[in-house]
Amino acid sequence: MTVSPVTDEAVRRPALMRNITRRDFLKVVGTGAASLWWCQFPLKHLVALEQEPESWPLGIEHFVQSVCDQCPSACGVIGRVVDGKLTKLDGNPRHPTNRGKLCPVGQAGVQLLYNPDRLRHPLEQSPKGSGQWRAVSWDDAINAIVGHLRGLRSRGSPESHAILTGEREGDFDAMMKRFMRSFGSPNYFMSLSARAARTANFLMQGTYTLPSYDFERANLILSFGAPLLENWHSPMQSQRAYGYLRQARRGPRARLIQVEPRFSMTSAKADQWVPIRPGTEAALALGIAYVLIKEHLYDEDFVKHHTFGFDDWQSADGSKHRGFMGFVLEHYRPERVADITGLSVLEIVTLAKELARATPVLAVGGGVTSLYSNATITEMAIDSLNALLGSIEIPGGVIHQRKVEFAPLPEVRPDAIALGGLEKTLRSSGGESVLTLSSNNPETLLESLLSGDPYRITSLWIIDENPVFSGVFGNKWREALKRIPLVVAFSTFMTETAELADFVLPHPTFMERGELINAPAVSSVPVIGLMQPIVKPLYETRHVAQVVLDIAHRVDKTLADDFPWNTVEDFQGGCLEQVFRERRGTMFTDSFEEEHIKLLEERGYWSPTHASPQAFQDDFKKNGGWWDPHYPMQRWGSVFKTKSHQFEFFPQAMADGMEHAHGRMITSGHASNLAKDLLLKRIGLAGEDGEIYLPHYESMKVSGDQASYPFFLMLYQPLTLTALHSANLPWLQEYLVAHLPMRWGSWVEVNPETARQLHLRNQQLVWVESPHGRVKLELRTYAGSMPGVVSCILGQGHTSLGRWARGCGENPLQLVGEHLDSLAGSPALLSTRVKLYQA
């Protein structure tokens, strides 16, 4: 089907209404497939109806373009609306992220919109946790919230208000930040994915985002457990690239090598699968680095001009430091790496030589490797391969997206109360905080919610996020939420977290609200998509941004002055004005125009297409979004935002952070050497040969010893369960995974030989037990399971959410201990050993 012109007004009558012949009619009935179709036009022409129903469906159809919100990658969608009802979501061919394609999760959006379990009006629970809900009006709910916030401001403790939100970038994020700044609280937290990969990128390249990869032009992709064909950070981007690399690109065929302990979809579709012992990926990366350095196969030019800490060096105070080269050559001989990883020396050397031969190549992490307790240093080791091979800022390498950060004018003017509150960040005032480099970390919030240290949080908003269910700290969150006087959950469903709130405010789905979405940095070029209501809101829902705006207007005059916008659209206008002033990029275009604009921009041309911000805004709405297809490579001055403005093998930010934390501990009364030991213990690094800053391998923390718990538990989230409410969408439950014929539930995947040795059969119920708990699951033999590793899907086992999610499968997080990757501050989901026995 070709997509008709996609404007709001593109209303056309169904083809059959225009003229119909007897032949057509018979054909329709004859084929059967469309026999309902003829019900749409007045039947009196064919069959005499006694009385025509009043609201006979007219079959009037129109298409609305918008942006999907099932995951943060923000693909473009087109909704087909017939008689005011959304019947299908398809990809938007003009949206650069997905170019007309759409993953199953996006398509299941219609089941999100029309889900019978959605929240329909605001609810109040009293007492909290009792399960006694009472419908309240929006006014009452907002009055209660405003009253509480006013109290905080008048008592001079605005910092006691906190917000926790799911991952999303755009005008919503900008508004929340602005609100918190104006209100005077530093406690705005976002649950980000792959925090270890972000932290590693921050340490070595200076940006706390995921790196972008130019997959399309790479010759070899060495993926360290990156779920490129599953729930990658931008699944449509990586899947489209995969399709392109497979058959569409001219020239030599690109290869994909997947290093992963599990035979995942990506492993299965890769050219080569390298099954590696879990948690030893860093050793492999450094073993490869060893071969590259030893045989002079690395990009010496890049290393010389754009990296720091490769050779031995001396710091300003005269102390000597060992370089990456010397360190790797001393410690990562392939023989040793082979012992650690379980691979053969030949495999390691072959991988290194292939990488060197195939440039441009990409080493990609950010998936499995971000979930171990040694995640950050592992991601650093993977990143160093890109630097060694010169795969940074070249076509087919790592690139750094130039985003537009929304911060509409006028600037916020926090008053004295707000300024006082903003200074009191949880970490700066915390006495003995852990060295954590990530900027906003939900676990930091949780810690102080429980301890009440350095101060109590008395108001918490949780927006589209479900920490009670989705993290290893579920029980702690449960405990913490009970202690907070006012918890407000903005949610589309009654989630496990919302059940513990005082107020639950129904949030519209992405098909009913308007938002500007800034595609995440992982998509290589900046894309700003317009989410707009495809259908009228079904229930009494309100967009969080509008609620926050209303609250801001009512708390007090300072806040009201900082929010001179009446509606969210006005605020978005301010954001778009910023984009207008960027003087680059273009509205969404088709592929042909894209090439044209790229050519122009490469040569330094840009035509000012719009006379005023208003004209820009109108055009933006018409086209559904803005993007900048041109990426200028190798503007070295602005690429690396590290201290040395180079790629840092030796991350100075980390060394400085440690120095700082050490200093603070000494001031608070620790002896210097003891403080250092304590600090190292806290960040969980032992270092290799005293070297903690360079990328190195350290064994990860694991619950359970090998003798009692012989299997390592790999948890994975299939693409279908990526979205927050996936589990309550029947289509996704029906097609959970493709590698096993499994639907509606969860199971444990075991190597057939292992199962035989344990005298367990396929499809038998077994207990999976770790030191932290046990769950009963169906055993599934799977040839792709490594001996010694069992796998289980993540995202099932809801106790709430809705009729389809509740009680479907088990939540394996109850097996997982509370290990952290302390550098990134993120929970280590892959840190458990289990045993299996008959149930």
Partner 1 sequence: MAHWGMVIDLDKCSGCQACVVACKSENNIPFTSPQEADVGRTISWMEMVQIIEGEYPEVRARFIPRPCMHCKKAPCTRVCPVGATYQNEEGIIAQIYARCIGCRYCTNACPYTVKYFNWRPPEWPEELRSCLNPDVSVRPKGVVEKCTFCHHRLQRAREQARFEKRALQEKDYQPACAQSCPTSAIYFGDLDDPKSTVSRLRKDGRAFTLLEELGTEPRVTYLAEEKIYGRAVV
Residue ranges in 274-303 that form contacts with partner 1 under rule CB under 8 A? 275
CB of 837 to partner 1, least distance (A): 22
Residues near partner 1 (CB under 8 A), total: 91
Q: Does 34 bind partner 1 (CB under 8 A)?
A: yes
Report the residue number, 450 or 738, with the smaller CB distance to partner 1. Answer: 738
Amino acid at 14: P
Q: Do residues 184 and 420 lie in contact, with contact meaning Cβ atoms separated by under 8 Å?
A: yes
Q: What residues pair up with 791 in beta bridges, in sequence order?
A: 714, 749
CB of 528 to partner 1, least distance (A): 22
Give the whole-angstrom CA distance, residue 418 versus residue 91.
44
CB of 730 to partner 1, least distance (A): 4
Q: Do residues 67 and 76 lie in contact, with contact meaning Cβ atoms separated by under 8 Å?
A: yes
Give the whole-angstrom CA distance, residue 331 versus residue 651.
19
Cα-based torsion angle of the residue sequence 618, 619, 621, 626 in order, rounded to the nearest 10 degrees: -130
Segment contacting partner 1 by CB under 8 A, of 27-35, 64-72, 768-776, 813-821: 27-35
Q: Do residues 206 and 399 lie in contact, with contact meaning Cβ atoms separated by under 8 Å?
A: no
CB of 98 to partner 1, least distance (A): 7
Q: Which pair of tokens denotes residue 466? A: 């479900």
8-state DSSP, 566? S
Contact set for partner 1, span 122-181 (CB under 8 A): none
Q: Do residues 383 and 204 lie in contact, with contact meaning Cβ atoms separated by under 8 Å?
A: yes
Q: Which pair of tokens denotes residue 327? A: 């360190």
Q: Quote the crossing angle between the two packed helices 672-683 and 652-667, to the nearest 10°.
A: 130
Q: Which of 405, 425, 407 is nearest to 162 (CA)?
A: 425
Give the whole-angstrom CA distance, residue 808 versus residue 805.
5
Strand 833-838 to 789-793 pairing? unpaired
CB of 18 to partner 1, least distance (A): 6
CB of 617 to partner 1, least distance (A): 31
Report the residue number, 552 or 723, with the smaller CB distance to partner 1. Answer: 723
CB of 134 to partner 1, least distance (A): 23
CB of 756 to partner 1, least distance (A): 12
For CA atoms 100, 167, 627, 216, the dihedral sign is: negative
Give the whole-angstrom CA distance, residue 92 versus residue 79.
9
CB of 35 to partner 1, least distance (A): 4
Amino acid at 825: G
- Rg over CA atoms, the chain: 28
Contact set for partner 1, span 48-67 (CB under 8 A): 57, 59
Contact set for partner 1, span 216-255 (CB under 8 A): 229-230, 235-236, 239-240, 242-243, 246-248, 253, 255
Here's the x/- map for partner 1, 750-789, by CB under 8 A: it reads as -xxx----------------------------xxxxxx--
Contact set for partner 1, span 505-544 (CB under 8 A): none
HEC sequence for 120-154: CCCEEECCCCCCCEEECCHHHHHHHHHHHHHHHHH
CB of 266 to partner 1, least distance (A): 8
Report the residue number, 107 or 307, with the smaller CB distance to partner 1. Answer: 107
Q: Which residue has the tokens 């064909």?
A: 229
CB of 235 to partner 1, least distance (A): 8
Q: Does 811 bind partner 1 (CB under 8 A)?
A: no
Strand order in the sheet with 361-364: 272-274, 255-259, 220-224, 361-364
Contact set for partner 1, span 64-123 (CB under 8 A): 82-83, 85-91, 98, 100-104, 107-108, 110-111, 113-116
Report the residue number, 444 or 733, with the smaller CB distance to partner 1. Answer: 733
Report the residue number, 236 or 655, with the smaller CB distance to partner 1. Answer: 236
Q: How far is CA 330 from the centre of its chain?
A: 37
Contact set for partner 1, span 592-651 (CB under 8 A): none
Report the residue number, 2 or 130, with the smaller CB distance to partner 1. Answer: 2
Segment contacting partner 1 by CB under 8 A, of 210-218, 269-277, 514-522, 685-693: 269-277
Report the residue number, 38 or 606, with the smaller CB distance to partner 1. Answer: 38
Segment contacting partner 1 by CB under 8 A, of 125-133, 200-208, 262-270, 677-685: 262-270
Contact set for partner 1, span 335-374 (CB under 8 A): none
Contact set for partner 1, span 691-750 (CB under 8 A): 719-720, 730-735, 738-741, 743-745
CA angle 771, 378, 274 (to 5 degrees): 85
